[in-house]
Amino acid sequence: MKISLKKISKCLDGQIIGNEDLLLEGLASIDEATKGQITFVSHPKYEKKAKETKASVVMTRKVIKGLSTTFLIVEDPYFSFAKLLTLFHPPRKKTPGVHASATLGEHLVLGTDVVIGPSVTLEDGVTIESNAQIGAGVFVGEGSSIGENSIIYPNVTILEGVKIGKRVIIHSGSVIGSDGFGFAFHGGKHHKIPQTGGVVIEDDVEIGANVTIDRAVMGQTIIGQGTKFDNLVQVGHNVKIGAHSILVAQVGISGSSQLGNYVTLAGQVGVAGHVKIGDQVIVGAKSGVTKDIPAAQTVSGFPPVPHKSWLKSQVALQQLPSLRSLVNELKRRVTQLEDKLVREKNDKEMA
């Protein structure tokens, strides 16, 4: 598949500087690009590598001095790269219809052009809106709904009472609406607290593989519009996550915690129960959040502290062995001085 640079420029609202008549057959990274391909530079630190690229076109914010090639000038090269991937590799369109092996309950509502794959189970009262795709082996529990243009990949489990918005993507192995971890200790035993609520996943959310989102005890666990989950994330019951947040792999959020909008939790962050994290907070990898964090903070560590302070503490930690040696040496010298003073005092008293 070849696409003209003029068409690409038009799609990206870009400006061509150089040969406008090029036909491009794909895109690649700076290191791997060859003749006939387009690459991109999104950060000045990659400009040196760009001077060695074999790509026919380099997509940047501005012309790179010392590089003799055709440039496509765009506002945001990385975002434009994402759009180009879709242009060169358009999503595969599946034939609408319900596979013969699907198990269908009663009182279903199926929109137009839905795809229901092999061995799918739709329980009573399920709604699948138009253009949604339900992959092989998916289970959708009673009364749940999936919005328009959503894609549910194979072997996802969506239990009863789950509401999924439009253009949501859920990857294989994820479980939405499992029971929250709630038990009352009485009489020497842990007694299960019924989890009677549901889960609401708003529009444009993407959920990675093997993610678990627990239903609420009462009310709803809520995932806000445009939020993105990496693989292996755990969300407890009654958690509320705001819009356009990012949760990286192996994040765990305990029950009833609240995240604001545009929050980023880096890999392996743990959040204790009933904690509030404000808008635009960034929490560094492997941090443990045990208390509320105000908006617009960047923190790291356990317990979290301002990220710059945490970096200084890590530097100091590396210096501990040498500091220990220095302290021991100073103690030795102080002991010698004290002994010397005692001897001098005794000599004076004896004189």
Annotation says 237 is catalytic = yes
- The answer to whether the CB of 198 falls within 8 A of the CB of 235 is no
| C-alpha 95: how far from chain center | 31
**Alpha carbon distance 230, 257 (integer Å):** 19
Question: What is the amino acid identity at position 99?
Answer: H
- Rounded distance, CA 55 to CA 23, Å? 12
Task: Say which of 186, 190, 237, 244 is annotated catalytic.
Answer: 237
Give the closest residue to 201 by CA, choosing from 180, 170, 178, 172. 170
Q: What Å distances lie between residue 268 and 211, 247, 250, 289, CA to CA?
A: 13, 9, 5, 11
Query: Regarding beta strands 127-128 and 57-60, do their DSSP bridges make them parallel or antiparallel, or are they unpaired?
Result: unpaired
62, amino acid identity: K
Residues sharing a CB contact under 8 Å with residue 236, sequence separation 6 or more, in sequence order:
180, 181, 214, 221, 252, 253, 254, 255, 256, 257, 273
User: CA 104, CA 258: separation in Å to the nearest integer?
Assistant: 36
What is d(CA 316, CA 299) in angstroms, rounded to the nearest whole number?
18
Give, in order, the Cα–Cα distances in Å from 44 to each of 15, 50, 63, 161, 348: 19, 10, 11, 49, 73
Q: Residue 124 has which token pair?
A: 């009573």
**How far apart, in whole angstroms, are the C-alpha atoms of residue 256 and residue 247?**
17
Instruction: Report the C-alpha gap between 335 and 206 in whole angstroms.
Output: 65
Cα 45 → chain centroid: 24
Q: Are strands 234-235 and 212-214 parallel, antiparallel or unpaired?
A: parallel
Q: Which residues are catalytic?
A: 237
